[in-house]
Structure 1
Amino acid sequence: MRRNDMTSKRKTATNSSNMNFRPAGYDPQRQDTKGTRPTANPTTVREVLLQMLIFLCKKVIFFDVNLKVALYLGSLFLVSLIGDFAPYPKTYFARSDNIFNVYFVKWGWAWTLVLSVPYLVLTSCILCVGNREKLIREHLPRILIATFFWFFWTKVFNLVETMYGRCNVKNFDSKIACLKGGHFWNGFDISGHAFILIYSSLVLIEEAKPIIGWENIKEHLRNEEHNRLTREESSVNPLRNLDDDELQNVKSLYEKYTPVIRVLFISMTALQLLWDVMLVCTMLYYHKMIEKVLSGIFAILTWFFTYRAWYPANSLLPNCAGHGKFIYQKTKIQPAVPFRKQSLNYNNAGSSTGQSNNTPKFMGMPIYPQKTTTATE
């Protein structure tokens, strides 16, 4: 009897499962993916350590740039003024032949280009979806413009020193002849070292900004592929306007270049720290106060004119770093300022969506998932 009862129960269960309702167009292969989001792959210890290092580098290189500019000018004036009246104790860095001065500062702009150019090319290649013409037209000119201003100001500084100087020996009227004769040329020597160190630091900060939110691209790619597989529509995914070929191109380039971009970013942070250290040495031991303050003013004005007034206006090319065919960084609505449009917000990424900045975070990322508010809500 028990065996017959168990057999009847199994048949009843089988019949009930076969009688379950199936809607029209039911596809058992898509049932498991419909309405769910793909999860990220397990993170290795190496990846966690790398993300922690990148997070630390972001904190260093993206220190409040407005405050940094104020510190540059204030320290150039105060530290240099004290050194003019009460010379600081001599150290290894006071020697003009120290290794950092010979192999780094004297080649400062070359080092800046060695790291910033490949970083710019790789990040912009992904943001422009592999469009080389767009990369060359909208991003590469930033480095060419910065190089022009570096060359222009260094030539102006040399011209001023030559025109408004004299040799310590009356028989020599030109700077070249004076120096070749083993004598000393007394002139108004605007500090080229202070200029290149400050200007290079500010350029590195601006060009490094595409790394902010860079890891979000991986999540956007995963979600957009899922949306297209399940034929779901998303109004918030920045990759939704790309066609299938462009999406696959972005995915391929992102996976290929991201490891190199991370290494370049870490190297750029280390170089920017070195420039700050060498700037302190320049304040302590080289040039007069007025010569260093003027060079700092020229560097900051050049940076402000290009990266804060010219590029964000978008009236003329090039564009700001981080712009491309899709926008993966959150934006912040700012009050109207002449020659300036809405720019990328690198500090308060949640403000544009109405999210509270008090949301608990770990390494800059929210701990709890947040609802994204669209413009139509």
Structure 2
Amino acid sequence: MATKRRPLRPNLGGGSGPAPNTSGTNMNFRPGGPDISRSEARGTRPTAAPTSVREILVMGIIHLCKKIIFFNTDLKVALYLGSLFVISVIGDFVPFPKTYFARSDNLFNLYFVKVGWGWTLLFVVPFLVLSAYTITCGDHKRMLRHHFPRIVIATFFWFFWTKLFNVVETSYGRCTIRGFASKSSCLKAGHLWQGFDISGHAFILIHSSLVLIEEARPIVKWETIKEHIRNELHNRSISENTGSNPLRGLNEEQMRSLQFLYKRLTPIIRTLFIGMAALQLLWDIMLVGTMLYYHRMIEKVISGIIAILTWYFTYRFWYPTPGLLPDAPGFGSFSYQRATRDSFPLKRHSHLGANSSANTPGAGGASSSRAHTNGSSSREQQIPKFMGMPLFTNVKAASAAASVQQAEQQRRDQQASVTES
């Protein structure tokens, strides 16, 4: 004989006696219906706007570019050093066919590698300025003080090392024909100058690639800023101060600036990021050609080591150090790249699991022990879900419904035990 289906949640209306089915107080639905008070329902977040086909295509391209430019940096550095050594040794002892790319006057060498730092600045400077201006909420003084100096420092190291390479070659070299004491006079006479020529090609390509990778990091989780803005505006409209939204600390003027700048500058930032990914891929291809055809192995390895040490000192030691300027890429008036629980509150408060095990009749020490041992898993199991997503969108509503449901279940169990006895 079929039994009457037990409701998923008790009657929160507080009425006595059976209620008709049309009242909705004993139906099988989750909290959030008409009987939830306004104070409990006010935490429901607004839904995101529908995504257009164009937006989906753009995000697909951005995702592909992220795969290219954010390849494991530590592994890429190891590949740079290993390739400089192995391929250069092969190029020194095994004659490769002399193609068009082996000529020093080829198109890519003249218009890309020799002015490689200019191409790098062409994409990095506007990307850094626009992204830093956005995450500092339009504070141009903070942007200029905390972020723009990174480009100045990177340019200084590029100028310093390339000039030092020229000094080393000029000071510790000699002309193939006697009688020429300087490199310039030797070259003007049509002779060759033999010196320790540290590869400026390898240095500028590796240095530019690593700077591109690091300066592009603000694009990571850039799309979540839109969600944070939407949720924070909703929270402020209902005077809701709970949650861990990273924008909670911004004042009204900063919120307006962030909302405006994000909407206006995001398309430009995405376009620049795509260009940076393409340029970084080009530099890696040009580096392979440099390994094969230009300079000796020791000259290329030393230049690669200098480029990597410069990157490590600035982006891995200097900038992340608290209290030292400039800041690391992506650091602004709020921390949007830090994982938060604000977007999807999947768990209840920790005291619910303990109360559940403590208030259940017949639960002894073993039950209490299991509750403490598997507290997190039991709390997750108590959250009603559909297709893996929680049905409770408000922590207050979830807590209130859970407490009432547990009390009602305890009351029914007590009545059943009395009836059986």
Give the TM-score normalised by structure 1.
0.79
C-alpha separation in 2, matches of 1:150 and 1:81: 26
Matched position secondary structure for 1:237: coil
C-alpha distance 368-124 of structure 1, shift in aligned 2 (>3 A):
farther
What is the deviation of 1:171? 1.8
Q: Aligned-pair distance for 1:41?
A: 1.2
What's 2:310 paired with?
A: 302
Q: Cα distance, 1:142 vs. partner? A: 0.5
Q: Which amino acid aligns with 1:269?
A: A
**Counterpart secondary structure, 1:193:** helix
Q: Give the match's secondary structure for 1:159.
A: helix
Shift of 1:39: 1.2
Query: In 1, are the aligned partners of 2:84 and 2:300 still within 8 Å (CA)?
Result: yes
* Distance apart, 1:235 and its partner CA: 2.7
Structure 1 residue 131 corresponds to structure 2 residue 131: no
Q: Deviations over 1:148-201 (max 9, x none)?
A: 000000011000000111111112110011111121111110000000000000
Tell me the residue number matched to 1:335: none
Q: Which whole-Å CA distance do the structure 2 matches of 1:251 and 1:288 have between them?
A: 53
**Which segment is superposed worse, 92-101 or 318-327?**
92-101
Q: Would the alpha carbon gap of residues 271 and 195 (structure 1) be closer, same or farther in structure 2, given more than 3 Å must change?
A: same
Separation of aligned partners in 2, 1:230 and 1:242:
17
AA at the equivalent of 1:179: L
Assess if the C-alpha contact under 8 Å between 2:43 and 2:235 holds in 1: no
Give the deviation of 1:233 after TM superposition.
2.0
1:184 to 175, 192, 206: 192
1:136 Cα deviation from its structure 2 partner: 0.8
Matched, 1:285 2:293: yes
Answer yes or no: is 1:249 the counterpart of 2:257. yes
In structure 2, runs of 5+ residues without a counterpart are: 1-22, 24-37, 341-375, 377-386, 394-421
- The residue aligned with 1:221 is 229
For 1:81, which of 65, 76, 89 is the aligned residue? 89
- Count how many residue pairs are aligned between Structure 1 and Structure 2: 312
Residue 152 of structure 1 pairs with residue 160 of structure 2: yes
The whole-number CA distance in structure 2 between the counterparts of 1:292 and 1:63 is 23
Residue 76 of structure 2 corresponds to residue 68 of structure 1: yes
Corresponding residue for residue 161 of structure 1: 169
Does the CA contact (< 8 Å) of 1:79 and 1:283 recur in 2? yes
* Cα-to-partner distance string for 1:309-334 (whole Å, 9 max, x where unaligned): 111112310010000110000269xx
Unaligned runs of 5+ in 1: 1-15, 17-29, 333-354, 356-366, 373-377
- CA deviation profile, 1:6-41 (whole Å, cap 9, x unmatched): xxxxxxxxxx9xxxxxxxxxxxxx999833211111
> Tell me, what secondary structure is at the counterpart of 1:239?
coil
What is the identity, as a one-letter code, of the residue corresponding to 1:217?
A: I
The counterpart of 1:211, out of the listed 219, 238, 258, is 219
* Aligned with residue 42 of structure 2, among 18, 24, 34: 34
Whether the 8 Å contact between 1:83 and 1:285 is mirrored in structure 2 is yes
Query: Per-residue CA shift, 1:102-155, capped at 9, x if unaligned?
Result: 111111001111100100000000111111111111101100000000000001
Q: Could you tell me which residue of structure 2 aligns to residue 201 of structure 1?
A: 209
* In 2, Cα distance between equivalents of 1:114 and 1:152: 20
CA distance in 1, matches of 2:62, 2:98: 36
Please give the secondary structure, in 2, of the residue aligned with 1:329: coil
Match of 1:175 in 2: 183
Return the index of the structure with the highest Cα Rg: 2
Quickly say closer, same or farther: Cα 1:205–1:295, change in 2 above 3 A: same
- Distance in 1, matches of 2:101 and 2:75, equals 26
CA distance in 2, matches of 1:162, 1:215: 51
User: Aligned in 2, Cα 1:276/1:262: closer, same or farther, shift over 3 Å?
Assistant: same
Task: Give the 5 Å matches for 1:320-335.
Answer: 320-330=328-338
Structure 1 counterpart of 2:125: 117
- Separation (CA, whole Å) in 1 of partners of 2:60 and 2:248: 30
Q: Is the 8 A contact 1:234 1:240 kept in 2?
A: no
Q: Which amino acid aligns with 2:159?
A: F
CA distance, structure 1, for counterparts of residue 96 and residue 278 of structure 2: 26
Structure 1 stretches of 4+ moved >2 Å: 30-36, 367-372
Match of 1:104 in 2: 112
| 1:44-82 deviation digits (Å, cap 9, x = unpaired) | 111101101100110110000000000000000000001
Secondary structure of the equivalent of 2:319?
helix
* Structure 1 position 264, deviation (Å): 0.3
Q: Which amino acid aligns with 1:293?
A: V
Partner secondary structure for residue 186 of structure 1? strand
* C-alpha separation in 1, matches of 2:132 and 2:47: 27
What letter corresponds to residue 227 of structure 2 in structure 1? E
Q: Cα gap change, 1:166/1:368 in structure 2, threshold over 3 Å: closer, same or farther?
A: farther
